[in-house]
Amino acid sequence: MNLPFSTNPVLKSLPVYQPGRPIEEVARELGLPAEEIFKLASNENPLGPSRKAVRAMRQALDGVNLYPDGNVFYLRQKLAAKLGVAPANLIFGNGSNELIEFLGHALLDQNSEVIVSQYCFAVYPIVTALFGSKLVTVKAKNYGHDLEGMLAAITPNTRLLFVANPNNPTGTAVPAAELAKFVKAVPAHVVLALDEAYIEFLQEPLNLLPDILNGSRPNLLLMRTFSKIYGLAGLRIGYGIADAALISELEKIRQPFNINSVAQAGALAALDDDAHADKTRRLNRRGLKLYARAFKKMGLEFVPSFANFILVKVGDGSRVFIEMQKRGIIVRPMGIYDLPEWIRISIGTPKQNERCVANLAQVLAS
């Protein structure tokens, strides 16, 4: 149906982000018991949230008749202390996705250029298109970032450059020394948005916080989240770390009360549970090794991953996705990332991983 009024012309060609399918939706569609389906599609924490976070969230429910703390005071103070930064260096978003949109509002117009890697997170191009800016895509190097190519693509019109490390959806990571050299080489007129949603899974991540604190990188924004290592994806809470002057500009765009009170309580308590994060890392390393062994045994090409998921080439990604769903296993087809022969599998529990490998072998043999 055609609308009787005009909308932003950009919307005519703007793609809609397609998330991993929910368990309930697959259960309804295929008539399967929801409790027999598991989801390995959205890089969620298979252990769930910390028990400390769950207790805090339950307590916070008694106060949901009141608006949340719009300044996120207690979480801001605690996270700043944990990271060793000032509270003024932090901004919170409804997931790190909202931080990406903040950048669009703050930096982009029809004369702007945004640089991304070939296999980048789908939201980067969507936000670029939303603000009418030009997307400059640099061909990937071994499924990861070609940092030299990205630097060469910078022009006077470049306003924003996205690098995810580890990268979603490929799981690749840039060596720390190379990343440090790259960060220093990005010119001051370009904001570098370094997406570190999966940084907690890196064994030796590059620490760029000193570069922010000493004022040498006012054009650097680190984006992180409570969705992955902390298992709070359903709360939608992410945060950015940057020079206080950049944070101040982004705060002008942030909507009031964008972080709800239950999310604030859960994230605050999650910061106290290092044991839960450590357990998640151990489980993830074990799962990655299991998949790597299985793929080698099956003769499948895969991309060695530094995150909590793994990309594997299965021939017809869409068919495998559909057949795995019928068996109660939700994975992620990669056609939207121009990888139609691949699927992405999130690391689950040992039982889930073993069942996924067994069913994948059966699907590929059929």
pLDDT for 156 equals 98
When pLDDT is cut at 50, 70 and 90, the band that residue 191 belongs to is very high
pLDDT for 19 equals 85
Dihedral sign computed on CA atoms, order 224, 225, 226, 229: negative
The model's pLDDT over 124-149, given as tens digits with 9 standing for 90+, comes to 999 999 999 999 999 999 999 999 99
Please give the sequence-ordered ranges of beta strands (E in DSSP) within the chain, or none if there are none: 38-39, 90-93, 113-117, 134-138, 158-164, 191-195, 220-225, 238-242, 302-303, 309-313, 329-330, 332-333, 342-346
The model's pLDDT over 205-246, given as tens digits with 9 standing for 90+, comes to 999 999 999 999 999 999 999 999 999 999 999 999 999 999
What number is the average pLDDT over the span 300-309? 98
What number is the average pLDDT over the span 245-251? 98
What number is the average pLDDT over the span 267-291? 98
C-alpha triplet 114, 115, 119: angle, nearest 5°: 125
When pLDDT is cut at 50, 70 and 90, the band that residue 12 belongs to is confident
The model's pLDDT over 57-85, given as tens digits with 9 standing for 90+, comes to 999 999 999 999 999 999 999 999 999 99
pLDDT for 16 equals 84
What number is the average pLDDT over the span 314-319? 97
Least Cα distance to 102 among 208, 294, 275, 240 occurs for 240
Buried b (16+ CB within 10 A) or exposed e, 108-145: beeebbbbbbbbbbebbbbbbbbbebbebbbebeebbb
pLDDT for 27 equals 94
What number is the average pLDDT over the span 278-303? 98
CA distances from 248 to 73, 91, 104, 210 (A): 15, 9, 15, 19
pLDDT at 1 over 80: no
CA distances from 332 to 98, 137, 311, 350, 355 (A): 23, 23, 9, 19, 16
Question: Which residues on adjacent β-strands are paired with residue 224?
Answer: 239
